[in-house]
Amino acid sequence: MSFSINKIKEYSTNIHWLNTLLFKNKKRRYLNLITILCLLWLNSHSQCNDRNFFTNRINSIYTSSIKKNETQLKGLLQVGEKMKACHLENDSSFMYLLQKTGVVYFKQGQYEQAINYTKQSNVIAHKCWLNQTGNASCLVDNFLNLRFYYKKTKQLNDEINTIDSCIFYALKSSDKFEIAIDALLDKTESLFNKGEYYLCTQYAKLGEELTKRYFHGEDSIGYIVSFLMKKANALYSSKNVSFAESFLKSQIPIFAETGYEKQLYPVYSLLGMINRDKKNYKMALSFFKKSLQSILSIKFNSGLAHNLVEMAKLYAANFN
């Protein structure tokens, strides 16, 4: 079969036209696809709300009058999925969501989930604290929650370590000093019970100093007495009796000058025990009586019972 020159030219022209048409159609399809994808992206992001919306939604679910943990948990998890879709996984509002979800899991008795969600919340809270988009208060709240969770699951070492973290971040916060003081009280109690008397005295000293720095008047005296007694008891239990005695006696004029002498009942009681051990029975009885007077003046019934028992032992053993 033979083709004329004109036929070949016509065929070439048609092929070129067809290729051009196919290229334009292919390009148009690509453009249409890109347009559709852009519209989908814009549509999905146009449905995203800001952090304030999600924070309010979290609060609404968590504080709902319908106190059903299952309902609250379902609602919080749904909010979490929406926040992930809006790429808010590292935002402080997502940290808050994880924290509250952990609390609801704890209320349901799902302790491992509670611990897991609170740890995740802590990771974000720590990042926010480091880059100054959040403060240390969130970390304090999380570690405070973890203390209860570990205590419930009898993870003693983790509970104690969490107390240290709670103290550290509470001191970095501007409004969590009372939590730091309470945590220090727990720490000194734990150390005393484990027989780590030196560390107990050091933490008690820190607690006393912080109390004097951040609390004043009526809101501080109870803490100060607690810390000085933990220190004195640690000294007494570690057989450093003479130092414990001199330390306790040094506190009496300080409390008398500030008008809080009535709070010295545990000081007098321990001085009574020290003198009893030293066989200074009359001096011991004198201190127990002073303790009794202080206790009666503030109507501290459990302290009264303890004091009367110690006096009874002293009378029975040494005064016939």
Residue 28: how many CA atoms within 13 Å on its side-chain side? 6
Which pLDDT score is estimated for 15? 57
Quickly tell me which residue has 């079969």 as its tokens. 1
Model confidence at 139, pLDDT cuts 50, 70, 90, reads very high
For residue range 61-116, what is the model confidence (pLDDT) as tens digits?
A: 888 776 677 888 999 999 999 999 999 888 989 999 999 999 999 999 999 999 99
Phi and psi based region of residue 49 (left: phi greater than 0; alpha: psi -120 to 50; beta: remaining): beta
Model confidence at 315, pLDDT cuts 50, 70, 90, reads very high
Q: Where are the beta strands (DSSP E) in the chain?
A: none
Rounded mean pLDDT, 129-137: 86
Higher pLDDT, residue 38 or 294: 294
Q: Which of 33-47, 98-112, 224-238 is the least confident region?
A: 33-47
- pLDDT of 40 > 50? The answer is no
Average pLDDT of the chain, as a whole number: 83
CA distances from 21 to 24, 28, 38, 297 (A): 5, 10, 26, 103
- pLDDT of 34 > 70? The answer is no
